[in-house]
Amino acid sequence: MTTSQMETKLTSQPRSNGMTNGGARIVVDDDDEVLSPTDLSEMLAEGTKEAHDRAENCQFVKDFLRGCIKRELFKRGTAALYFVYMAIEEEIEKNKDHPHIAPIYFPAELHRREALARDLEYFYGEDWESQISLSAGTKPYVDRIHEVGQNDPVLLVAHSYTRYMGDLSGGQILKKVALRALKLPSTGEGLNFYQFEGIHSHKGFKQLYRSRMNELELDAETKGRIVDESNRAFGFNMMVFTELEEIGKTIKEEVQDAGFGHGHAEIMEGGDINKCPYYAAKMVASGNPTFACQLAMTLLSHPPCQMALAACVAFFAGFAAWYLL
């Protein structure tokens, strides 16, 4: 099957988003797809929800999202990702003609190994390869990817979905946090991993990728195994996070704030994300009323906010006095 034969058209009059794969245009449409609960993308979203929540709520990720990032840990995390993606992309290359891998084979758009190598060179220097090694917490993940690629390639779908779709979604948030927290260059050095130069629309590409997955000829049992493998992948990621968290306890390094100024760190009050005004504001905006009062109280407890409030009160008091006169 050629790339052009695999081209996905979601409506009768699709619009190109400018992405290419093997020289052929990839055509997608802005409208949402009509999905079924038995579609693989829907089964993965539903079946990995708990594992995804656990990964997002582990301490390392929560600290990262707050901007509490130690440079050394970020470097080690980048090294861990390098070994994971080296394994994934080695196995995908070996199986690129497999009927269940070929439709989701997007090396120019997705592969991250070279980008990670550039990041590691930025952090470690030209001899970066001699300074990194496969850690104990990352090895089981890498070993499993190779095992799957050699013995059961269809399960590579789970590892590809878990990593690449996550990088195109939550990974973009982590990129912004790391940029501020580590005071990295705005030109992108150290953050090449998060930059997908071959993708002009993340939303459009994710829609295309899910559509390709849903078109794979898979029986219910195989879909279930892919969901199970994806949950397993989340577990391996958590092992890496746990290892980094433990290493972080031994590193005496000042944590830089996420670019919000000293006030943000003060508001955090011991690291409780629920006391962060940015988090509370997000919850209020999403329709959660319980955070509205908390947002107001948190801001009022912050000296600069108190001064701003006092200035506002003084202004309106002066205006009212002038009006009454």
What's the pLDDT at 35? Answer: 78
What's the pLDDT at 236? Answer: 97
| Dihedral sign, Cα of residue 30, residue 34, residue 40, residue 43 | positive
Closest CA relative to residue 87, chosen from 128, 133, 44, 147: 147
Residue linked to tokens 């990262």: 64
Q: Are 229 and 160 in contact (CB under 8 A)?
A: no
CB atoms under 10 Å from CB of 97, counted, come to 9
CATH architecture group of domain 40-250:
Up-down Bundle (1.20)
What's the pLDDT at 128? Answer: 98
What's the pLDDT at 166? Answer: 92
What's the pLDDT at 304? Answer: 54
Residue 20's SS3 state is: strand
| pTM for this prediction | 0.71
What's the pLDDT at 170? Answer: 87
Q: Is 270 exposed, middle or buried (0-12, 13-18, 19+ CB in 10 A)?
A: exposed
The 3-class SS string of 216-276 reads CCCCHHHHHHHHHHHHHHHHHHHHHHHHHHHHHCCCCCCCECCCCCHHHHHHHCCCCHHHC
What's the pLDDT at 300? Answer: 52
What's the pLDDT at 19? Answer: 42
What's the pLDDT at 322? Answer: 45
**CB proximity list for 198: less than 8 A, separation 6 or greater:** 19, 20, 108, 109, 110
Rounded to 5 degrees, what are φ and ψ at 84? -65, -45
Sort strands 24-28 and 15-21 into parallel, antiparallel or unpaired. antiparallel
Closest CA relative to residue 135, chosen from 187, 79, 180: 79
Provide the residue ranges of all domains of the chain, joining segments of one domain with +.
40-250, 289-323
Rounded to whole angstroms, the Cα distance separating 222 from 224 reads 5
Q: How far apart are the first and last CA of the chain?
A: 84
The list of the chain residues with pLDDT below 50 reads: 1-31, 255-295, 298-299, 313, 316-317, 319-325
- Token pair belonging to 152: 């059961």
Which stretches does DSSP call E strand in the chain?
15-21, 24-28
